[in-house]
Amino acid sequence: MSENIDNHQVKDCLFQLKCHFTWKLVIDDTEIPDLEIRASEHIENLDTNNIGMYNLQAYVSHLKGENDKALQSLKEAEDLIQREHTDQLDRRSLVTWGNYAWVHYHMGRLADAKMYLDKVENTCKKFASPFRYRMECPQMDCEEGWALLKCGGPNYKRAQACFEKALKVEAENPEFNSGYAIVTYRQDCDKSNVISLDPLRKALKLNPEHGYIKVFLALKLQDIGEEAEGEKYIKEALSNKSFQTYVFRYAAKFYRRKGCTDKALQLFEKALQATPTSAYLHHQIGLCYKTQMFKVKGGTNRQDRESIGRFAQLAIDEFQKTITDRPTFEMAYINLADVYAKIGQYEKAEENFQKALCMENLPDHLQQETHFRYGRFQEFHRKSDNKAIVHYLKGLKIEEKSFARDKLLNALEKLAKRRIQHNVCVVESFSLLGLVHKLKGEVNEALLCYEKALRLTEHLNPMF
């Protein structure tokens, strides 16, 4: 009976800790293997925030039921703290001790769990924390921010809040600024936006040799049409040995978007040597082959058809690897569907579009992109304007300002104008065109379209 009481007492204390077990990280079960790989990649290829990555690795191992492996990762974190943070040993150890306590608890080792709870409690007393088992300090907020950031899109807003909280205390801290810059960039889904530009510039100013920040800044500059300045940062990052694997992957993305697919593929292959199971890299390589496939003109002669078929198969293989490694990688399904549509395999295209359309908890801009791509498939491959309109409108109901939303507006506008020109469903088409102008903020043009639609309705129904 007393042991049962002790168990409840220990568990009540555990919930007061600030660590991976209490931060409510949103991780889909199917994403756990890929998250484990990404944490390992970070440890092997980046020389920043590895204490946090060992802790995340431990939490992921626990989720997989591998608690002994979790303890080994926590030992790595502890050793790193003792090597690099002798001046802040107690504070830097709080998250690791909290994770230790939780793992031991789940292994049924109440005495060991209590030992780590005591370590946390003694440190909180030492620094006069008003809380028994947690302490408010910017380093803790930063570590929580990194954990949330690494766990992907559903966690980004909370990650940003953590970094913002840390920056209120230490506005010029290089690590806090790096985390804040990266999480704002990750959420910057509108290419015309400059929300992440200043944070990235400030982070680079505080971390001049940080190649990871340089490539993100380069990609953002490319977004807003400042490609020449962006390429300057790419070349600087490539000339530096630090962060090299991550520099290769994002420098390659820069050159892929620039249209230099051969150069991009060379850099992706270099990155792949270090991380051969990276879903991100296989997806990017697939995009390169998809671009090469779409560059082939016509496709009417035998040579063109063979080239399209070869690039299509290479792209399909890479997207299939992506989905195998990360089954929730929504854009891989969409791009795979695009390739199947291009080569006339419409049933396979439909199957992959449906997988993307049925995914839950997608960020708004990805939902918009999915409806845009599926709408294009219906309009140009299935020749169904009505289904295309349905999906363009579904995408536009999502009010997030993004590059995908702009594409939806332009697609619906072109379709409506084409139908008006060919005298197809003219009343409906003028109404749709009016909606497009309204959503673009073009009030006068919207009113003109709605008036035309009304006049045509009156002409068609004179009794009304």
Name the DSSP class of 362: -
How far, in Å, are 202, 212, 339 from residue 208 at the CA level?
Answer: 10, 11, 41
How high is the pLDDT of residue 94?
96
In order, the DSSP letters of 354-410 are HHHHT-SS--HHHHHHHHHHHHHIIIIIS--HHHHHHHHHHHHHS----HHHHHHHH
Same fold, 1-136 and 138-237: yes
In order, the DSSP letters of 58-76 are HHHHHHTT-HHHHHHHHHH
How high is the pLDDT of residue 298?
65
**C-beta of residue 400 within 8 angstroms of C-beta of residue 377:** no
Q: Which fold has domain 1-136?
A: 1.25.40
How high is the pLDDT of residue 460?
66
How far, in Å, are 31, 80, 98, 146, 401 from residue 137 at the CA level?
Answer: 30, 20, 15, 15, 35
How high is the pLDDT of residue 464?
43
| pTM flag (> 0.85) | yes
Coil, helix or strand at residue 361: coil
Structure tokens, 82: 């003792």
How high is the pLDDT of residue 131?
95
| Whole-angstrom distance, CA of residue 123 vs CA of residue 95 | 12
**C-beta of residue 132 within 8 angstroms of C-beta of residue 122:** no
Quote the strand ranges of 11-62, DSSP E.
Answer: none
| Whole-angstrom distance, CA of residue 272 vs CA of residue 284 | 11
How far, in Å, are 84, 188, 331, 397 from residue 342 at the CA level?
Answer: 54, 30, 16, 28
Structure tokens, 347: 């049933």
How high is the pLDDT of residue 438?
97
In order, the DSSP letters of 73-84 are HHHHHHHHHHHH
**Other C-beta atoms lying within 10 Å of the C-beta of residue 439:** 16
pLDDT in tens, the chain (464 residues): 344 548 889 999 999 999 999 999 999 888 898 899 889 988 887 767 789 999 999 999 999 999 999 999 999 999 999 998 788 889 899 999 999 999 999 999 999 999 999 999 999 999 999 999 999 999 999 999 999 999 998 999 999 999 999 999 999 999 999 999 999 999 987 777 889 999 999 999 999 989 989 999 999 999 999 999 999 999 999 998 777 888 999 999 999 999 999 999 999 999 999 889 899 999 999 999 999 999 997 667 888 889 999 999 999 999 999 999 899 999 999 999 999 999 999 999 999 999 999 998 888 999 999 999 999 999 999 999 999 999 999 999 999 999 999 999 999 999 999 999 999 999 999 999 999 999 999 999 999 999 999 999 887 665 44
How high is the pLDDT of residue 299?
62
Domain ranges of the chain: 1-136, 138-237
φ, ψ of residue 239 to 5 degrees: the values are: -80, -10
Q: Which fold has domain 138-237?
A: 1.25.40
**C-beta of residue 343 within 8 angstroms of C-beta of residue 308:** yes
